[in-house]
Amino acid sequence: MNVVIRDTYDEMSKYAAKIIASLVRQKPNCVLGLATGATPIGTYRELVRMHKEEGLDFSEVKTFNLDEYLGIGIDLSKPYEQDQSYARFMYEELFKHINIKKENIHIPDGRTKDPVEFCKNYEEEIRKAGGIDLQLLGIGRDGHWAFNEPGSSLGSRTRVEALTKQTLDDNYESFYKKAGISRDQMPHYAITMGIGTILEAKKLLMLANGKKKAAVVAKALEGPVTSQVTASAIQLFRGEAIVVLDKEAASELKNTEFYMHREKLMNSFSF
């Protein structure tokens, strides 16, 4: 696991975007796992800039999103409506600005009438695509990845998950309050990739910014591996894992000097 620390959110976002762009250029038909939330917005905006100004080509890229609220969602074949779905978030922040094909976009369908069967099929679609080459991740304030709430099995697969009070509170402030939707009206369940599914990606790229994430970042990266902090599963990952933080999110790490030393060493040699 390589931990990269940058001074600001903007610098962190640009660094993460370069990692993704490098993969897209090296493997034009790569499979990207994507995340929602406030943290990756800067990364998506930098990818959009690269597409528009540098010709970064997404025409053969396939994507799989981590999660979606159960009970809402949009039909990718029709115009996007004003809702609070993660599908619409992805359209507004990334998809409508780049040349990705609609048929290559995969997002859990929150409107499905058979969630159990849908989850099985989602796993199969990932396998049929050859697996995820790079999975982009954030981290919740209670240490969760996607909607894998505390207590989720570290071997879990794509499934329906009930949301904790912490997650409901955070998402209400970020997405629902400003839309005039009451807390009781927001979805309390979601479809999410499991931790086991995430760990099957070839490469992980986790982002975190801000002082409010500092304590849980330290738990995930330097604390014990535990289902109570599902992002701590990154310590079990066998492939290449890169964690990109701003200084505030990294402020409670104990091994900061070592992470910075290792980054300098890695930049000095070609392996």
Q: Which residues are catalytic?
A: 67, 142, 144, 149
Which contacts of 37-41 are long-range, i.e. CB under 8 A and separated by 24 or more positions? 37/138, 37/174, 38/174, 39/138, 39/207, 39/208, 39/209, 40/13, 40/16, 40/136, 40/138, 40/207, 41/13, 41/93
Instruction: Report how far residue 247's alpha carbon sits from residue 208's, in angstroms, rounded to the nearest whole number.
Output: 10
Judged by phi (left if over 0) then psi (alpha if -120 to 50, else beta), residue 151 lies in left
Q: Is the Cβ–Cβ distance between 147 and 67 less than 8 Å?
A: yes
Pairing of strands 159-162, 189-192: antiparallel
Per DSSP, the three-state class of 170 is helix
SS3 233: helix
Q: Give the Cβ contact number of residue 141 at 10 Å.
A: 14
Report the distance separating Cα 267 and Cα 271, nearest Å.
Answer: 10
CA distance 123 to 133: 15
What is the spatial distance between Cα 161 and Cα 147, in angstroms, rounded to a whole number? 7
